[in-house]
Amino acid sequence: MRFFEFLGKYYILMTKVFSRPEKIKIYRKRILFEMEALGFNSIGIAAIISVFMGAVVTLQMSINLESPFIPQVLIGYATREVMIMEFSSTVVALILAGKVGSNIASEIGTMRITEQIDALEIMGVNSAGYLILPKIIATVLFFPFLTVLSIGIGCAGGYFVSILTGIMNPDTYIDGLKMDFKPFSITYSLIKTAVFAAIITSISGFYGYYAKGNSLEVGKASTKAVVVSSITILIFNLIITQLILIG
Amino acid sequence: MIRTENLVKSFNDRTVLNNITTVFEQGKTNLIIGQSGSGKTVLLKSLVGLHPIDSGSIYYDDVCFSSLGFKEMKDIRQHIGMIFQGGALLDSSTVEDNVKLPLDLFTNQSEEEKLERVNFCLNRVELLNSNKRYPAEISGGMVKRVAIARAIVLNPKYLFCDEPNSGLDPVTSCVIDNLIKEITQEYQITTIINTHDMNSVMEIGDKIVYIHQGNKWWEGSNDDILRSDNKELNEFVFASAMAKRAKLATL
Ligand SMILES: Nc1ncnc2c1ncn2[C@@H]1O[C@H](COP(=O)(O)OP(=O)(O)OP(=O)(O)O)[C@@H](O)[C@H]1O
Ligand SMILES: [Mg+2]
């Protein structure tokens, strides 16, 4: 029952978010601002986790695939595939759900309880559109860049570890990276990221927008935003994979 | 002019406003007074449509505001200025951008014209040299004044103020009261102010509506208020020592 209530309220909010903006120019400015706040400022964390993940995947593969029957070139290949297919889209999205999602929910939630949203409404502004739409557009456009970056940095992480530990031949690793590359897998990864971006921003915006009460409630709203967007991301990961790869 | 007819508002079966029928006139400062929790803020928010009402009607001049759809309500709201109890400035924008926002959204003026208007309004509330500061960096009284500047920047026809001078020192309070009264007369605005400051009541109360436990208990002018024999109103008004002295003086 609660689930259907959530869906109904979410749908109503989204119709408000996607209704025609008052002034395109203002929105354009806000989109650029949000791209910096939500996208550009997340480059650091995306880069750090990617380099470590790439390194550890390569390390694990080298340790566990040590067998004369498995060519070493598969290690680079596997690292690349792991990064593209799941890590740089899904896992990065989960991390961003924590960072960006809590940020959005607490920002909008605070605006709600300090009557800033009411003030916008009184001015005749569509507050849902004004606050949430630029964030959705900014993240849907920017997060795919983070994914591409993460793939690159993750593969580089594997390369570094092969040099630093000497666990495998770096040149073989590079050969593996280039092996049997299907460009479509990148497209698949980017589609997933764009969907996840929309999920994170709209769900966090939802919890912030409907926050009420005091700072305690805003805290709860931002926790909920992170939990619900993470679970939704995992569910959609399954759905999209089924649709695109298996069809 | 804003008129309410049998306005009823409740939250989960608890009636907060009960059958309020009254008129707020144009060019006058209309005050809503009452104890904390009596329903002043709920009344003000119902008048502007932030709280949907249960029954009754609200008229803005000849338009029945309470039966308008979302779209038409938005059109009327461009003529509304509102000052919230806590100021409600946008935290992420500077003072200047806060005041400029309505101009950005609803006019096609050039950047210079907009800045000129912003500075005029900030000047009006005696706030200079704070344009580039953020709401967190200015004092509570300054926040209130920026909120006033923002509320009047589009020359509203209706102005709503929720305790515009609560928490301010007596001097600043007076400045703000007089400012609101001045612009109300100058631009013939329909102004409605929530307050429990007896000083404001005596100074600028053209019309006063006293709300007691969600009911309209009394209405009249500030001259009438001292002569009223309404028991609850008297208890409210003469709770403050200064008003008591004023009463003695009139006897
Ligand atoms: N959103 C809400 N949900 C439920 N009850 C509410 C809500 N807003 C206000 N109330 C109730 O309505 C009553 C009137 O509240 P209101 O905020 O109008 O008081 P007020 O007269 O403005 O008081 P103050 O002078 O302290 O600001 C209170 O008892 C309050 O508990
Ligand atoms: Mg109040």
* B84: nearest CB among A26, A115, A124: A115
The helix (H) or strand (E) run that includes residue B215 is strand B215-220
Mean pLDDT across the stretch A50-66?
Answer: 90
Helix spans in chain B (H): 40-47, 70-77, 95-106, 111-124, 140-152, 170-186, 198-204, 222-227, 231-237, 241-250
A14-27 per-position pLDDT tens digit: 999 998 887 888 89
| B127 closest CA partner among B96, B97, B159 | B96
In the prediction, which pLDDT does A1 show?
67
Kindly report the length of chain A: 247
The CA B13 to ligand 1 mean position distance, Å, reads 14
At residue B124, does pLDDT exceed 70? Answer: yes
Protein residue whose Cα sits closest to atom 28 of ligand 1: B37
At residue B214, does pLDDT exceed 70? Answer: yes
Residue A45's Cβ-side half-sphere holds a number of Cα atoms within 13 Å equal to: 16
The CA A31 to ligand 2 mean position distance, Å, reads 35
- B82/A114 CB distance under 8 A: no
Q: Which residue has the tokens 């409404």?
A: A121
| A80 closest CA partner among A165, A156, A142 | A156
- B90/A118 CB distance under 8 A: no
Angstrom distance (rounded) from CA B29 to CA B25: 8
Q: Which residues 32-91 of A have a C-beta within 8 angstroms of B? A: none
Angstrom distance (rounded) from CA B46 to CA A72: 72
Q: Which two tokens stand for residue A120?
A: 């916008």
Distance, CA of A120 to chain centre? 29
At residue A247, does pLDDT exceed 80? Answer: no
**Fold for the domain defined by B2-79+156-249:** Rossmann fold (3.40.50)
Q: Which residue has the tokens 């009327």?
A: B76
The CA B184 to ligand 2 mean position distance, Å, reads 22
Measure in Å the smallest separation between the Cα of A17 and chain B Cα atoms.
Answer: 14
In the prediction, which pLDDT does B165 show?
84
Mean pLDDT check: name the lowest of A59-68, A166-175, B25-34: A59-68
In chain B, residues under CATH classification 3.40.50.300 are 2-79+156-249
What is the full DSSP assignment across A127-165?
A: HHHHHHHHHHHHHHHHHHHHHHHHHHHHHHHHHHHHHHH
Who surrounds ion ligand 2 at CB < 5 A?
Answer: B 41
Q: Is A66 helix (H, G, I), strand (E, B) or coil?
A: coil
Distance, CA of A61 to chain centre? 26
In the prediction, which pLDDT does A31 show?
96
- B106/A116 CB distance under 8 A: no
At residue A225, does pLDDT exceed 90? Answer: yes
Q: With beta carbons less than 8 A apart as the criterion, state whether A190 and A147 touch.
A: yes
At residue A124, does pLDDT exceed 90? Answer: no
Q: Which two tokens stand for residue A221?
A: 């709203």
In chain B, residues with a C-beta closer than 8 Å to the C-beta of A124 are: 74-75, 77-78, 80, 105-106
Instruction: Flag whether the ipTM exceeds 0.95.
Output: no
* B78: nearest CB among A116, A120, A124: A124
Mean pLDDT across the stretch A192-214?
Answer: 96
Mean pLDDT across the stretch A142-166?
Answer: 95
At residue B242, does pLDDT exceed 80? Answer: no
In the prediction, which pLDDT does B226 show?
82
